Amino acid sequence: MSEQFVFEVIQSPVGPLLLIADASGTLRVLEFHNSAERRRRVLERHFDGVPMVEKPGAFGHAATLARYFDGDIECIDSISAAARGSDFQRQVWKALRTIPAGTTTSYGAIARKIGQPDAARAVGLANGANPIAIVVPCHRVIGSDGSLTGYGGGLERKRWLLAHEARHAGYGLFKKVRHS
């Protein structure tokens, strides 16, 4: 039997979110979702021709995200996630998951963490290609000067997510962490 995926659209304080998981419950996509047309494009880009079934509440991801938005900012660490991408992208995305909730780091620090200290720009590109927002926390990566840099969901969402996490972690606006 061919691979099958389940999806649902949930409401959140940062707008509707599209969640896609595989049959084992591993989250494969979490994107900001504004329309059925955007959902169609996401599905074509990541899963063209793969059977997709709408299944609200599947695997408990929506409930876990609701807890995250209610202030349990570390609960998303329990969500199993895997995205399709190059080896380098997957290495960056794995490193993103090690950034503690309520903290930030830089592209250069991620590059050093994965053993490629001259790859900050490539890390930025991989960060931008991350299809699993929030759970693979690309929003926690900021410029080396502390500035908020681009975010696929928009800078307002990035600012909101960072402030939300900082508020519940007790760090003030946000705490910068250096990965060595």
Sequence-distant (6+) residues with CB within 8 A of 106 are 120, 141, 142, 143, 144, 176, 178
CA-CA distances (angstroms) from residue 159 to 86, 112, 123, 154? 28, 25, 20, 9
Q: Which residue in 17, 27, 132, 138 is the catalytic one?
A: 138
Residue that terminates a domain, selected from 53, 78, 103: 78
Q: What is the pLDDT of residues 37-70, one digit of tens each?
A: 766 777 777 777 788 889 998 899 999 999 999 9
Q: What is the pLDDT of residues 93-135, one digit of tens each?
A: 999 999 999 999 999 999 999 999 999 999 999 999 999 999 9
- 138 belongs to the catalytic site: yes
* Domain count for the chain: 2
- At 82, list the tokens: 């895997």
What predicted TM-score, i.e. pTM, was given to this entire model?
A: 0.88
Q: Are 58 and 121 in a shared domain?
A: no
- How would DSSP label each residue in 103-167? EEEEHHHHHHHTT-TT-HHHHHHHHHT-SBTTTS-GGGEE-TTS-----TT-HHHHHHHHHHHHH
- What band does 25 get if pLDDT is binned at 50, 70 and 90? very high
Query: Any idea what the CATH number is for the domain that residue 104 is in?
Result: 1.10.10.10
Q: Are 91 and 71 in a shared domain?
A: no
Q: Are 59 and 132 in a shared domain?
A: no
Q: Are 64 and 102 in a shared domain?
A: no
Q: Are 19 and 69 in a shared domain?
A: yes
Residue 168, pLDDT above cutoff 70: yes
Q: Which domain holds residue 29?
A: 5-78
